[in-house]
Amino acid sequence: MVLGKGLYIKKYQVYSPKLPLSFDGFRFIFISDLHGKKYGKNNTKLLEMIYKAKPDCILIGGDMVVGGISRRCKEGYRPLSKETVNTSIDLIAELTPKYTVIHALGNHEEKLHPALWDEYKSKLKELNVKLLDNEKFSFHRENDDCIDIYGLSLGKENYPKFRRNKLSLDSVEEKLGAKGGNYTILMAHSPLYFETYSRWKADLTLSGHLHGGIMRLPLVGGVIGPDFFIFPKYSGGFYTENGSNMIVSCGAGTHTINLRVFNPPEITLVELKFGEKLHGN
């Protein structure tokens, strides 16, 4: 249930002097935490919003599905998980003929039943999706300029409930290696480790996971995260630390707590700009 307006596009412009001039004006849609939600039949409303935005590519930040295992099912996974996998694949199949689609993992992809995860990966491969499981994809222009896009898979240990773990820089570098010299976008599903992402020198981090804090309050932001800590620091919006920027999507869907109060579902449109100015709106 959503108390407030329905799905909308949250728009940002992100400026950096490190951005190659050929990428000035580069636009992408960032989708996170869809969790199998449908907007219109076959997600036609969501697709129409994306087409109207005219992005250069699509970045998926994880939790397109609902993971988890139920021993009561002979297949070993919940029917809901299978349904959300199908919804995600159907949506992506509509996008890949028009756009490069780059997909990182969230905690729900990481906890899908192995057989279902193998099926999901196989379908994504058939659709030529760039699946980044601790990997890098370089987006090139004709003049050999490029930007690097990384997908960091945090692992189940970094999504605890009722406690906070630390993520070390060594752990990130073990998975991704040292950051190169190109302008770099890091998709890392949980925003709680932004300090570490900034130390890794990500130019722009894209996160989600917190669903905007379920309910949002003026001047406060989100109220509670999935780890059950109240007033999470990075619940949704634009953040800057140590010269590194982060956009946290409030997410396009829900699961478990199917409630959003003053917290409409969103997809994100980001335009990269060459220069010094930094702002989000």
CATH number of the domain bearing residue 148: 3.60.21.10
Burial class (CB in 10 A: 0-12, 13-18, 19+), 11: middle
- Cα 212 to Cα 97: distance, rounded to the nearest angstrom: 31
Q: Is the pLDDT reported for residue 259 higher than 80? A: no
Count how many domains the chain has. 1
CA dihedral 123→126→131→137, nearest 10 degrees, is -170
The secondary structure element, H or E, covering residue 12 is strand 8-16
At 218, the pLDDT band (50, 70, 90 cuts) reads confident
Q: Supply the mean pLDDT for the chain.
A: 92
Domain that holds residue 26: 2-280
pLDDT band of residue 77 (cuts 50, 70, 90) is: confident
* pLDDT tens digits, 16-68: 999 999 999 999 999 999 999 999 999 999 999 999 999 999 999 999 999 98
- Is the pTM value of this prediction over 0.85? yes
**pLDDT for 280 beyond 60:** no
Quick check: 242 and 281 in contact, CB under 8 A?
Answer: no
CA–CA dist 239, 133 (Å, integer): 25
